[in-house]
Chains A and B, each alone.
Chain A
């Protein structure tokens, strides 16, 4: 087996507040193989963005990594000095944020933002960096890149700006791109194009992708594997076909059940009845137990851990291998 590009083990993120410590990410573990696309889904507040932020080392106080480790191609990165981590950002891990309208500095020309990023990470001069920037813009599908490179961000449409953002994230050929809802803020008509672009570029370069999204259709079309998050934990992770077609965790079943047929499923996730608990009030045992139709005694006291179940891994006492709850789940 090839070494994973990203390997996260028991990642725990906490916020120290005046009213006590809130655990927003609780023992999250997953791997992403080279060139693989891992989709991350889950309702708002599940901790998807926070996981990405922790991986790229941009947690702002009072948030902090309270436990676990993050490895990039085998090398531990969560305990690196600030400046070493800074060199990894943009160079080894690229990031695409949700809103392209606010991701670019309005006072800098598009080309200048590209050139400064390229020159930060690669040993090239200004002219060479500019040439590369033009090539990149052409590659992400900006027409007339020699001219547009001197344009200002506000002169680009939302879709075009997200293309620029993708060019910025990929300009130093990173091994991993974290895309946090890269199309949510875009016009529906361009969403598919942007996803296709991201997918194509990453496949060409063998870049692994952590794709955070609400759009199950995008997941089904793009991802190789899916992680479903709930209340700061991964509750199910596995190959996309398995998780989408045969979800095992009751929460994942609810998520997938809300899409009638995958082909026409461009809608956002519908929510399962009830809502996710606030961080300060996560129930004992399984965090999903108040909303779970299958909850039983053990769910109220014992926190389920991720266990193998077929090709997936699931954190639910119905699937702990004892077969005790299996018939209830079916």
Chain B
């Protein structure tokens, strides 16, 4: 088990190093960063001086090493647009994005899993068919369209929920701002979270349904029924547990893509998160922010993957043995 964790950690480190290389390469391929810092009439001397102070004259490898070392200390340089440390900019906006992503992931699981189970058990029921049909819409409509439709309905027509922003937030220890503790914050969260989570929810519902139908056909379910276990024990004990094993992986990977896809939702709802910051960075060729965002998102993916693997091993005893042997 320990060997497995160590090996996975090493793999993760390699992945992150490659991502860092790509991020670093962005600085060099998207033009001379000095041009971003100086104006046309800056004297050439001064330009050279800036170059030197930024270490841009050093060999590439040295520069890369410096970038990695700094990244390890969460130092991603200074934003070109804002003239502020990138890390501070991201940290300031991270709570908004992470809260949005976590709430949508939770929404997609809490709604998606029961719907999947229901549609599998009541395969021919009217409601099950309706869920199936609606889920098709969910997977095929683009996120921004869903967002706009929701805004139109609940914000413009009904006026129940705000159409943009994060509402009132509360500052917690460690500088984390949360919208989960105020009514307006929670209200503001609903539409974006549903928009962002709807696709994942339908995905999870369909996955759970397919997986559950598969499991219900297995011998051990037949045998569980032959042993006279109650329908509840068979469906929600035996069948559900086996259904959820593969769902863990998908749900984990989905959390990663929810964070990545937050960009669109944040734009639609003018959500003050990292996605909006990233978009602005792209518009203004603010390489330090883009690079840091890239590294951060891949870091998240790596961490989630690792967590999923460990969770998997915790749930499935067969895997534990294979891992012990490894």
Confirm or deny: A15 has a beta carbon within 8 angstroms of a beta carbon on chain B. no
Once A102-B219, A106-B317, A107-B241 are accepted as A-B contacts, the answer to whether A56 and B226 lie under 8 Å apart by CB is: yes
Count of residues in A whose CB is under 8 Å from the partner chain: 31
Contacting pair A91 B228 (CB below 8 A): yes
Q: Which of A114-122, A191-199, A231-239, A288-296 contacts B (4 or more CB under 8 A)?
A: A114-122
Per the bound structure, the CA–CA distance linking A91 and B224 in Å amounts to 13
Q: Are B225 and A89 in contact (CB under 8 A)?
A: yes
Most interface-central of A97, A106, A165 (chain B CB within 10 A): A106
Q: Give bound CA distance, A56 to B225, whole Å.
A: 10
Known A106-B318, A107-B316, A152-B318: A165·B223 in contact at CB below 8 Å: yes
User: CA separation between A121 and B219, bound complex, in Å?
Assistant: 21
In contact, B229 and A116 (Cβ under 8 angstroms): yes
Chain A residue contacts of B249, Cβ below 8 A: none
Q: How distant is the Cα of A104 from the Cα of B227 in the complex, in angstroms?
A: 11
Name which residue of chain A comes closest to B225, CB basis: A58
Closest Cβ of chain B to A92, distance in Å, is 9
Q: A95 interface residue, CB < 8 Å from B?
A: yes
Q: Which residue of A lies closest to B233 (CB)?
A: A116
B66 within 8 A of A: no
* Chain A residues, CB < 8 A from B51: none
B245 adjacent to chain A (CB < 8 Å)? yes
The distance in angstroms between the C-alpha atoms of A52 and B245, with both chains bound, is 32
Set A86, A117, A154: member contacting B231, Cβ < 8 A: A86
> What string of 1s and 0s marks CB contacts (under 8 Å) between A78-93 and chain B?
0000100011111100
Of the residues B219, B229, B231, B245, contact of A107 by C-beta under 8 Å: B245
Interfacial chain A residues near B221, Cβ < 8 Å: 105
Indicate if the CB atoms of A102 and B220 lie closer than 8 Å. yes
With CB as the reference atom, state the residue of chain A lying closest to B239.
A105
Rounded to whole Å, the gap between the CB of A45 and the closest CB of chain B is 19
Cβ of B228 and Cβ of A90 under 8 Å apart? yes
- Nearest opposing residue in chain B for A174, CB measure: B228
Q: How far is the CA of A91 from the CA of B238 in the complex (A)?
A: 19
A88 touches B223 (CB 8 A): no
Closest beta carbon of chain A to B246's beta carbon, Å: 12
CA of A43 to CA of B224 in the docked complex: distance in angstroms? 27
Bound-state CA distance A155–B318 (Å) is 9
Does chain B have a CB within 8 A of A168? yes
Question: CB of B49 within 8 A of chain A?
Answer: no
A321 to B231, CA, bound (A): 50
B283 / chain A contacts, CB cutoff of 8 Å: none
Give A168 to B225 CA distance when docked, in angstroms: 12
Chain A residues, Cβ within 8 Å of B225: 58, 86, 89
* Interface: B48 (CB within 8 A): no
Is A107 a contact partner of B228 (Cβ separation < 8 A)? no
Which residues of chain A (31-68) have a CB below 8 Å from chain B?
56, 58
B17 near A: Cβ within 8 Å? no
> Does any Cβ of B come within 8 Å of A270's Cβ?
no
Which residue of B228, B229, B242, B321 contacts A154 across the interface (Cβ within 8 Å)? B321
B196-242 at interface with A (beta carbon < 8 Å):
218-231, 233, 237-238, 241-242
Question: Which A152-188 residues have C-beta < 8 A from chain B?
Answer: 152, 154-155, 165, 168-169, 172
Give Cα A58 to B225, complex, Å. 8
Cβ of B315 under 8 Å from chain A? yes
| CA A234 to CA B219, docked complex, whole Å | 27
A90, B229: Cβ atoms closer than 8 Å: yes
Tell me if B222 and A120 are in contact (CB < 8 A): no
Provide the residues of chain A in CB contact with B226, threshold 8 Å. Answer: 56, 58, 89-90, 94-95, 97, 169
Q: Which residues of B contact A90 (CB under 8 A)?
A: 226-229
Q: Nearest Cβ in chain A — how far from B249, in angstroms? A: 15
Q: Which 9 A-B pairs rank lowest in CB-CB distance, beginning with the nearest? A: A90-B228, A89-B228, A102-B219, A95-B226, A90-B227, A152-B317, A105-B220, A103-B223, A117-B227
Residues of B within 8 A of A (CB): 218-231, 233, 237-238, 241-242, 245, 315-318, 321
Chain A residues proximal to chain B, CB less than 8 Å: 56, 58, 82, 86-91, 94-95, 97, 99, 102-108, 116-117, 120-121, 152, 154-155, 165, 168-169, 172
Given contacts A106-B317, A172-B228, 9 further A-B contacts (CB under 8 A): A89-B227, A89-B228, A97-B226, A99-B219, A105-B224, A116-B237, A120-B230, A152-B317, A155-B321
